[in-house]
């Protein structure tokens, strides 16, 4: 099982048909959803179905995705029941929707501490990814994640739809299809907050699952900006996302040459390569490229 998280595919927790396709979906991580894709009437059944699926899934396969669970938000009154059902089945982590800030992640972490202990799950093994922008107050607290001591934090992502609802907005994109200013701001703040906290930044979803060319282009752009992966809502999106967040062979070779140039001059802050002077930020960018390539 890969530690990469280029593609994170949502699967409705109450869909037998879609759960049956998880093993071959190609995503680095699958998020078994108990929240938005499940109707209130199906919440309880989805909870049981996801727990059964986790218990029965063969995670030893070479290409098995990480299995995460998006629980319901704390203010729903359902979160603790969700956790009680899935923690014994040892998911890779919990995606927390609509946190107001790192305090909500700390609350989740404390619940996981107790539940792991109660069910014989390795302490600290279940990670947390907050959808860190979905309430009106949340964007103001993004920078606080860096100093919050959240040892379970594995990545951070953002979402525009619930934020728009929280703001009473009628839309989040302009006539040109681009994010409106508020959402560009939140996206950038989430990117910076994740890096400040030392975890990957995960780009939000591309809602038009038939627009593969647009998905690939915007995924490449997101990687160039510093995002490490992206949320997906349809299996057809997994391939373009994986491609968009995987450096090309040429990029990898260039990065290797940069790293080798610095290795050849230990202690040097600046080296020359192909007639250009490169400094430490270039080395860090090259190392990041190699990390995204799995090297």
- Cα dihedral value 21, 128, 195, 261, nearest 10: -60
Whole-angstrom distance, CA of residue 132 vs CA of residue 48? 27
The answer to whether the CB of 151 falls within 8 A of the CB of 125 is: no
Whole-angstrom distance, CA of residue 83 vs CA of residue 69? 9
What DSSP assignment string belongs to 20-62? TTSTTS--SEEEEESSTTS-GGGHHHHHHHHHHHHHH--TTST
Distances (CA, A) of 258 to 60, 224, 271, 283: 36, 17, 9, 6
Strands 270-273 and 276-279 come out as: antiparallel
**H-only helix segments in 167-294:** 181-197, 212-225, 238-244, 249-263, 280-292
- The encoded tokens of residue 179 equal 């994010």
48, 103, 208, 279: which is the annotated catalytic residue?
Answer: 279
Residue that the structure tokens 């922008």 belong to: 133
Whole-angstrom distance, CA of residue 45 vs CA of residue 50? 9
User: Is 279 in the active site?
Assistant: yes
- The encoded tokens of residue 189 equal 């703040």
Is the four-CA dihedral 192, 193, 197, 199 of positive or negative sign? Answer: negative
- Point out which residues pair with 8 in neighbouring strands: 29, 231
> Which residues are designated catalytic?
279
């Amino acid at each position: 099982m890969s530690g990469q998280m280029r593609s994170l595919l949502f699967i409705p927790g109450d869909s037998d048909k879609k759960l049956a396709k998880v093993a071959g979906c190609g995503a680095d991580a699958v998020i078994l959803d108990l929240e938005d894709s499940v109707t209130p009437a199906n919440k309880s059944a989805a909870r049981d179905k996801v727990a059964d699926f986790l218990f029965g899934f063969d995670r030893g396969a070479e290409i098995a995705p990480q299995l995460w669970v998006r629980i319901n938000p704390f203010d729903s009154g359902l979160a603790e029941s969700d956790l009680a059902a899935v923690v014994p089945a040892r998911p890779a982590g919990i995606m927390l929707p609509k946190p107001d800030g790192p305090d909500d992640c700390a609350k989740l972490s404390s619940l996981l501490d107790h539940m792991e202990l109660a069910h014989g799950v390795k302490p600290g093994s279940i990670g947390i990814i907050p959808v860190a922008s979905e309430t009106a107050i949340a964007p103001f607290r993004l920078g606080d994640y860096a100093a919050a001591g959240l040892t379970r934090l594995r990545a951070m992502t953002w979402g525009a739809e619930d934020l728009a609802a929280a703001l009473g907005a009628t839309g989040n994109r302009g006539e040109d299809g681009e994010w409106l200013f508020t959402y560009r701001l939140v996206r950038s703040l989430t990117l910076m907050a994740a890096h400040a906290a030392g975890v990957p930044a995960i780009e939000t979803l591309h809602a038009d699952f038939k627009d593969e060319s647009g998905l690939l282009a915007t995924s490449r752009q997101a990687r160039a900006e510093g995002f490490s992966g992206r949320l997906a809502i349809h299996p057809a999106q997994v391939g373009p996302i994986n491609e968009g967040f995987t450096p090309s062979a040429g990029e990898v070779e260039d990065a290797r040459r940069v790293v080798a140039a610095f290795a050849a001059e230990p202690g040097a802050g600046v080296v020359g390569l192909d007639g250009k002077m490169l400094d430490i930020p270039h080395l860090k960018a090259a190392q990041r490229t190699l990390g995204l390539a799995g090297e």
